[in-house]
């Protein structure tokens, strides 16, 4: 189902996405906002026929032909699949969107208007919502976690926070603002800039850290990264069940060798690095100390959490749940 031309190309990589992609397509807002759009689905050698699910879902909608499907012969991972989609894109602007997101009315135009408002803005992300709570309002670097963490969900003004309900969020989380990074779950970038930067770095395998790397390369090239809260999507998260993949530590090492160990990240973040270690109170404790870490779909935080109390712990218990057991 092909389109002749487009202002905007929306690229959706798919892996084990047959169920999620049907929900996304059912949510598409195709009202005329003056922008010509194409949707490019990239089936990354999906084992459960995500491409067939796309065709079925669009057939049920009985709507116009607005996109195409690419079927990779090999599994390239998130970065590679996005790059393949971009290579076939016709639009001036590229939107990358995760398959496990549903969209809301008028989610595209606010991001485009922000990008067009200032030539120094190179990339724009949006508000990502989960069950009525902010899942991400952009990200900032945390030396405690040794990674970018989600504003409005994990951190707010440099301090830990409980995630905010969208309806009760602080005013500044509902305001267009510059960010250190926005997640690859959804953002828009000029096509020319994306290719000038040679796209996502495919040395980041499967997923994780490639979006942070691209945001820093955008900023290193002299452009700004912005957050646009008037564009909202709903993000399920983790639908491929591949969060703890074997390449995750290699991806982190690549990012740290490029940005952290070279100190290149320091002028790009608000909070400067610190070597202050937590006080070791082990010698004040009589008896064995058991460290208990309870987590649910939070692999990215486990290392930092464990390291923060490791000096005082003798034995560990890790309780890892799944979505079926998560507190709601």
- Taking only the tens place, the pLDDT of each residue in 222-250 is 999 999 999 999 998 754 445 455 778 89
Percent of the chain's residues with pLDDT above 90: 65
Q: What is the pLDDT of residue 279?
A: 55
> How many whole angstroms separate alpha carbon 171 and alpha carbon 86?
35
pLDDT-derived band at 313, boundaries 50, 70, 90: confident
pLDDT-derived band at 308, boundaries 50, 70, 90: low
Higher pLDDT, 325 or 120: 120
Higher pLDDT, 117 or 17: 117
Mean pLDDT of the chain: 87
- Taking only the tens place, the pLDDT of each residue in 250-291 is 999 999 999 999 999 999 999 988 765 555 666 667 677 787
> How many whole angstroms separate alpha carbon 215 and alpha carbon 139?
11
Higher pLDDT, 34 or 83: 83
- Taking only the tens place, the pLDDT of each residue in 185-205 is 999 999 999 999 999 999 998
**Residue 175 scores a pLDDT above 60:** yes
Which pTM does this prediction carry? 0.82
């Amino acid at each position: 189902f092909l389109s002749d031309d487009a202002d905007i190309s929306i690229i959706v990589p798919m892996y084990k996405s047959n169920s999620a992609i049907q929900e996304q397509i059912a949510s598409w807002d195709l009202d005329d906002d003056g922008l010509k759009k194409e949707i490019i689905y990239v089936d990354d050698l999906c084992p459960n026929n995500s491409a067939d699910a796309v065709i079925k879902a669009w057939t049920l909608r009985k709507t116009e032909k607005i996109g195409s499907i690419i079927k990779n012969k090999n599994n390239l991972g998130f970065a590679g699949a996005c790059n393949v989609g971009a290579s076939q894109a016709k639009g001036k602007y590229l939107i990358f969107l995760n398959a496990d997101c549903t969209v809301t009315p008028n989610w595209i135009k606010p991001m485009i208007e922000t990008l067009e408002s200032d030539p120094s803005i190179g990339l724009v992300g949006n508000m990502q919502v989960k069950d009525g709570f902010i899942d991400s309002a952009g990200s900032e670097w945390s030396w405690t976690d040794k990674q970018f963490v989600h504003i409005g969900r994990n951190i707010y003004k440099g301090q830990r926070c409980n995630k905010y309900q969208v309806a009760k969020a602080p005013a500044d989380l509902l305001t267009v603002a510059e960010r250190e990074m926005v997640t690859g779950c959804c953002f828009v970038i000029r096509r020319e800039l994306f290719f000038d930067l040679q796209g996502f770095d495919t040395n980041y395998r499967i997923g994780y850290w490639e979006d942070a790397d691209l945001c820093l390369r955008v900023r290193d090239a002299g452009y700004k990264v912005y957050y646009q809260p008037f564009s909202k999507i709903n993000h399920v998260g983790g639908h491929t069940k591949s969060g703890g993949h074997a390449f995750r530590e290699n991806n982190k090492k690549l990012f740290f060798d490029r940005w952290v160990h070279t100190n290149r990240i320091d002028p790009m973040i608000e909070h400067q690095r610190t070597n202050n270690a937590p006080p070791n109170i082990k010698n004040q404790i009589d008896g064995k100390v058991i460290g208990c870490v309870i987590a649910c779909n939070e692999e990215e935080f486990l290392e930092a959490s464990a390291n923060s109390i490791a000096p005082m712990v003798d034995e560990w218990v890790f309780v890892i749940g799944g979505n079926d057991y998560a507190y709601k």
